Each structure stands twice: as C-alpha cells, then as structure tokens.
Chain A
Amino acid sequence: MIGIPTTFKISIRALRVNKMRSGLTMLGIIIGVGAVIAMLAVGGGARQKIAEQIASMGSNLLIILPGTTTAGGLRMGMGAAPTLSMGDAEAIRRECPAVMEVAPNHNGVAQVVAGNVNWSTAIIGSTPGFMLVRDWPLESGEPFTDQDVKSATKVALLGKTVVDNLFGALDPLGQVIRIKKIPFLVIGVLSPKGQSTTGQDQDDVVYIPVTTAQKKIFGTAFPGMVRSIAVKAHSTEDLERADSQITSLLRQRHRLGPRQDNDFTVRNLTQIMEAAEQSTRVMTLLLGAIASVSLLVGGIGIMNIMLVSVTERTREIGIRMAVGARRWDIRLQFMIEALTLAIIGGLIGVILGISASWLISEFAGWSVVISPVSVFLAFGFSGLVGIFFGFYPAYKASELNPIEALRYE
C-alpha cells in the first residue's frame, strides 16, 4: 500500500490533464453548494426578519378588541362598539392566571405642538404596564406611574420619531408639549422600535396615562371605556390558556348568554407571527432541499465523469496493476480524484454562495443571514457526495482484470 500524499499527486496530475472536463464536473458541485448556501441564507434572512418583528411587537402578546355595533343600519366594523372598560382590564389582570401583565389602550390621532413646531401623531393612553406588555423600555427619563393614572396627570412619553420631529437634537425631557391645546410635561423618551409587521412606524407615538386620554383628550362613550386591551401571557405555551381564560371572563362580565356571540375579539398576534415563522422555516427547508438536489445532481456528474475516466484509462489501470499496484492503491487513486473534484468544487461553491447571498441582499434588498452551520453543512455534504459517488467508479477500476485491462484499446 502506498501513502496518501503520493496517491494525491497521481490524482491531481490526472485531473490537470483534463482541465476542461474537471472544471465542468466541478461546476455541478459548485452550483450545488452555492445554491444551498444562498438559499439557506435567504431563508435565514426571512426568518430573522420575522423574529425581529415578533420581538418588536412584544412577545407572548394578545390584543383584545371590542366587537362591532350597528347604528341606523350601518354596521360599524370591528372594534367600533364601546364594550371594553378599565374594569375588564383590571379583572383580566386579577383573575386570569395565565396573564402576566395587562395594558388597556385608549388611543387616537392628534396634533402635537412643541414651541413653534407641530406634528400629527398617534396618542395612546395606557397604564405603566404597557412597557412590559410591549417589551418597550425607556431610552431616557422616567415612566409614568399608577399614581399618574389614578390622578390623570398630564405627563407624556415620546416615541423616537416624535422627538426627532418636534425637538430635533434638543433634549425633550422636562419640556412641555401641547396635545389638543392641553399642556403635557415630557417625562421620558421611549427606545426606538422600528417598523411593525405591517410597516408602520412604531416610534411615531406619544404615550400618556389612560385616564388622561379618556378624560382630557378623546373623551369616552361611557366612563372608563378603552379601545383595546393588550395582554402579555407568561409564556408562549400560556397564550392559548390566556385566550380561553380571557374569553370566558369577559363573556361573564359582559353578561353574554350561551347563544350570544362574543362582543369582543381576542387576537393572538404572537401565534400568527409564529405561524409565519414556521412557514418561513418550511420554505427555507424546501429551498435548501431543492438546492441539495442540484448538489446531488452534481455528485452524479462526478460519478459519470469518473466512470468515463475509468473506462478511458483502463489501459493505465492495467499498467499500474502489472507493475504492482494493489486493488486498494487503484481504489484510493480514483477516490481521491473524485474527492478532490468535490472538495475544490465545494470550496469554490462556498465562495460563490456567499457572494451570491451578498449580491441578493445588495441588489434585491432582501435580508440574508449566512450561518456558519449552513456553510459547513453544504461543504461537508459536497465531501460526502464525492466519497459516495466516487466509490463505485473507484471500486470498478480496482476490480479490473489486469490482463484484459492491458489489452484494452
């Protein structure tokens, strides 16, 4: 038996003799590996984007919206009926064990004025719990407190976009803004959150205590009415439970009979997002699988060329055997040839895949994530393909009869 370095030299020489053919054979693997890496990168990018959106929305989030109402034959659409109250929010927090925190919202759009600058933005009245529910910490300043809610204080927390538009580079803390001509003291600035799942700027917002919004800004159909309630469950697994606990609690509180429909809707946003993430994951797998098929086809290309090569070089094999090459020596020689094709092809494929991913993100504007695992996987797989598809031709070569091989024309 001879060493691997010597065999390696023999194999490389054979590959160099047929440069064009070796290159084309490698192309199959190059495209396969490149495609696997690029596809997984695109899929990974999509998943990362969804994960970011879930995180920005607030994890384990349920949103309760009031039901619809009909006024003079006009059906008013979802959320129009004034059916949710502060009391509902309080009851949910108290009585639903799966719920961690509750934030009632009473919101609307209003013009905000600071000095001689003005800006139209979303005003959301809530309780201090919204920061936990939405996973939304302050960047600077202080949050408002339950005491502020109780006494309907005129304090405001500004989103980043509002700060930029009203104050520019100035520090807004301690400044006064006017919402519908009512002065509010800016006590905090929320950290930037970016776009929501629907592409809205989540930082274009002003948070004030819910009672202030109800009494001084938007008014209510009845005291204590809120437009929605955001709920954070303890964990993802608790979402379902929280949903049913809230539904039965609110049905009871709203005195709905068994045949009446709910006058509210519980939206499980996290679940919707997770379904989206799940489907992206499936898509990634699917893309990867399709790309793997091309890697497999590349492998068959290697096998094909190696079989041709064995036939073509029958006489060479005969000569080697006649002067003392053992079966293993011949087998190793052809295995190394196949493996070299696969590995060099794999390396070029990795470079190609990474550059393709980069090009996709640069020109198509998709976010891509190249994970080292996918690179390693694709490269390792190409090596396995080389071994797997190189084995049969190598075996065939080693089983040749030297007498017949020498006579082969």
Chain B
Amino acid sequence: MTLVETRKLCKTYKMDGVEVNALSGVDLTIEQGEFVAIMGPSGSGKSTFMNIIGCLDNPTSGHCLIEGVDIAKLKGDDLTALRNKKIGFVFQGFNLLARTSALENVELPLIYSGVNPRERRKRALAILDEIGLKGREKHHPNQLSGGQQQRVAIARALINNAAVIFADEPTGNLDTRTSVEIMELFVKLNRDFNRTIIIVTHERDIANYCGRIIRFVDGRVVSDQLNIKS
C-alpha cells in the first residue's frame, strides 16, 4: 500500500525578496513498511521535504498524498489533526517537555487526540516497557541519558499508532554506541512491527541501517536506491 506519494512537489521561500527554491519538483513514493533514509548536504531540501510530508508545512505547488489524502491544500487545524493521527516525530534534540515525566511526555499525543486518562496511562506504560524504559516512567528528561531521552521520544512517536515515523537526525546528539542502540531499535520496529520509518541523516553509517536511500541535492532527488543489507 502506498503511504506517501508526492507529485511535482515544489517549495519556494522568499528571503530578503530573493526567491529560493528549496524543493523543485520532487516525485517520490514510499510504501507501507519501508525503512527509508533521506540523505543530502545541508540546504539540499531534505528537511523541507520532511516538513511537508510530516504535515508541518504546505508546499508552494504540487501534490502530497498521505494514505491517499492530498495534504497540499490542508491548513492549520486540519493538518494538525492529520499529524496527530498519522505521524510520529523524532527529533535530533529529543524535544521532550522539560520538568515533565517520561510517562507524561509519552502520553502527550494521546491528550490531544482526546483519549481518556486511564487509557493514556495504560498505553504509555506498555510502550515504555516495550522500548526498554521500565522503571524510568517517573524520571524527568534531565534525569535521563541522551539515549534514554531519545527512546522516550520514540515511544511518544509510536503511541498514536502513527502510519509513519519521521526521524530528523535522530542520532545527531548521541555518541556512537548509543546511536547504534537507537538505530537497532528502529530496525526492530521496522522488522518486527512493520512500522514505516523515514530518517533524515547525513551520516552514511546511519543510512546503512535503512532499506532504501534517497539522496537530495539542490531540491531534487538525485538518487533513489535500495540498500542491500549484509
């Protein structure tokens, strides 16, 4: 099943009156269950691409379909609702709420989709357990290591049973060993739970964990190949 499909996706920014083409006509299709790495130098448009298919931004022109729904023309709260149901984010800087326990951080998407407190707690506890953070539920982010914080963020991305998980440089703030652990977690989620995962990275090692590598340069896709794992 096609999960994400873009057709002639364009995004133009205006900076000091000069138009900058961040994306100039991207055609891509990502199927359910894929594990994709998006690579490219900074300024190549990979983040812009992710913001658009992540329902955070609108394209200037072209189409972007998530599970068949064109989000190019959706605005504000409609986009937010879709984001809440279909998409989970993992960021480089973790982006957890400070002074808030791991458990409550994981519950956050459920609060905004109107799930009742008891159900929220049950699901958050189950996911934290699954992701290897049992016993850390009450810890605040500053009491957790970087790897643990990223796990909390991944749990938060998973809790709404999102159709796709976007990870923007998820290992950028982590040491090599922890990076490996996090990537293995992604691999497991993809392999054992058939989760669709899209990772933006500029590290070859990280991209190598993925099944498909797409390269961006100057707002265009320059290569799109399967990555045959050893």
Contact = CB atoms under 8 A, between A and B. Distances in A.
B213 to A, nearest CB: 25
Nearest to B98: A316
A403 B160 CA distance: 21
A320 B108 contact: yes
A402 interface: yes
Contacts of A402: 56
Majority SS at the chain A contact face: helix
B95 A315 contact: yes
B97 A316 contact: yes
A326 B95 contact: no
A119 interface: no
B156 interface: yes
Given A316-B97, A403-B56, A406-B95, A328 B111 contact: no
A323 B91 contact: no
A326 B80 contact: yes
A103 B114 CA distance: 81
B210 to A, nearest CB: 23
A325 B80 contact: yes
B109 A324 contact: yes
A22 to B, nearest CB: 14
B113 A324 contact: yes
B34 interface: no
Nearest to B156: A323
B108 A323 contact: yes
Interface string B32-55: 000000000000000000010000
A152 B76 CA distance: 97
A320 B95 contact: no
Interface in A302-335: 315-316, 318-329
A2 interface: yes
A329 B81 CA distance: 12
A6 interface: yes
B77 interface: yes
A398 to B, nearest CB: 10
A322 B112 contact: no
A166 B6 CA distance: 109
Contacts of A318: 95
A406 B112 contact: no
Contacts of A373: none
B81 A326 contact: yes
- Identify the interface centre among B108, B113, B156, B160: most chain A CB within 10 Å of its CB: B108
Nearest to B95: A319
A1 B112 CA distance: 7
B76 A323 contact: no
A321 B112 CA distance: 9
Interface residues of B, number: 27
A318 B83 CA distance: 13
Given A328-B77, A406-B95, A323 B112 contact: yes
A293 to B, nearest CB: 36
Nearest to A318: B95
Given A329-B112, A402-B56, A403-B57, A324 B95 contact: no
A403 B83 contact: no
Interface string A367-409: 0000000000000000000000000000000000011001000
A326 to B, nearest CB: 5
Nearest to A323: B109
Interface in B82-114: 83-85, 89, 91, 95-100, 108-109, 111-114
Given A329-B112, A403-B56, A403-B57, A324 B91 contact: no
Contact of B80 (A13, A319, A324, A406): A324
Contacts of B117: 6
Contact of A323 (B51, B89, B99): B89
Contact of A319 (B83, B84, B97, B99): B97
Contacts of B160: 324
B83 A324 contact: yes
Contacts of A71: none
Contacts of B96: 319
A403 B48 CA distance: 10
A17 interface: yes
A403 B166 CA distance: 14
B227 to A, nearest CB: 28
A326 B57 contact: no
B51 A324 contact: no
Interface in A1-50: 1-3, 6, 13, 17
- Identify the interface centre among A323, A327, A402, A406: most chain B CB within 10 Å of its CB: A323
Contacts of A17: 99
B157 to A, nearest CB: 9
B88 to A, nearest CB: 8
B95 to A, nearest CB: 5
A327 B113 contact: no
Contact of B112 (A315, A326, A403): A326
A289 B109 CA distance: 47
A322 B77 contact: no
Can you list the 7 inter-chain pairs with the closest CB atoms, starting with the nearest?
A324-B84, A324-B112, A323-B109, A326-B77, A325-B112, A319-B95, A326-B80
9 contacts: A316-B97, A319-B96, A319-B97, A320-B112, A323-B83, A323-B112, A324-B84, A402-B56, A403-B57
Given A322-B83, A326-B80, A403-B51, 5 more contacts: A17-B99, A319-B97, A323-B84, A324-B109, A327-B77
